Amino acid sequence: MSDPKVALVTGANKGIGLEIARQLGERGYAVLLGARDEVRGKEAAAALAARGLDAAALQLDVTDPASAERAARQAEERFGRLDVLVNNAGITGDYFGPPSGATARQLQEVYATNVFGVLTVTNAVLPLLRRSAAGRIVNLSSNVGSLALNADLDGEFAAYNQVAYQSSKTALNALTLAYAKELRETGIKVNSANPGFTATDMNGHRGHQSVEQGAVVAVRLAVLGPDGPTGTSQDEHGPVAW
């Protein structure tokens, strides 16, 4: 029997991240649950293992380069490679007012996880992804990061103007494109997944979708076949304009 494909999901001890790990585990992947809180990560992995899934926890603070390098070494020691990286960890920050009232510190706090953390983790594990026959990187973004959708003054986001969170997802989309360009000839596919307004701790469970629904697009992009796209932003309906 061949070795299972291996997936690392950041921020995977709860919410969409845990559900992505579960759905990949149900597809036969060995899943590594990255979690800043080691205890909560182990509890989440144990819950998946109790369902018969191949799951283990990695202590991983995406804002700490040393933590990312340590997690990469642990993944290498256990499996020797990675087939999928899902950059799910993200925060909204604590500022929700207009751009004119924001401070640089408030944006830096959000970018540290949503943008810089993605670059840190991706670079730490990229050598392992290069060893995969079909590496996949999925960045959890949001339709609120789409410049095209936000520029539509008659669209669904016309009244939505959360500068820290929105701009961090726009920047994350730029990272998606940059990595897709760099890795295009390697076979590693890089895409942004926009889960939609999903009920999680991040929004006080006000979202109208379940985590099961929210995880679908990320899982779809994680298991893309050789003819699948790279350098795209997608939601449940397909490609989303940048």
Residues annotated as part of the active site: 165, 169
Q: How many CB atoms lie within 10 A of CB 164?
A: 23
CA 31/CA 15 separation, integer angstroms: 15
Pairwise CA distance, residues 86 & 20, whole Å: 9
Pairing of strands 6-9, 30-35: parallel
Q: Answer positive or negative: Cα dihedral of 60, 62, 63, 69.
A: positive
Contacts of 188 (CB under 8 A, 6+ apart): 129, 130, 132, 135, 136, 137, 230
Secondary structure tally for the chain: helices H, strands E: 9, 8
Helices in the chain by DSSP H: which ranges? Answer: 15-26, 38-49, 65-79, 104-111, 117-129, 147-151, 163-183, 211-214, 216-222
Q: CA neighbours within 13 Å on the CB side: how many for 169?
A: 27
Q: Does an H or E element contain 58, and which?
A: strand 55-59
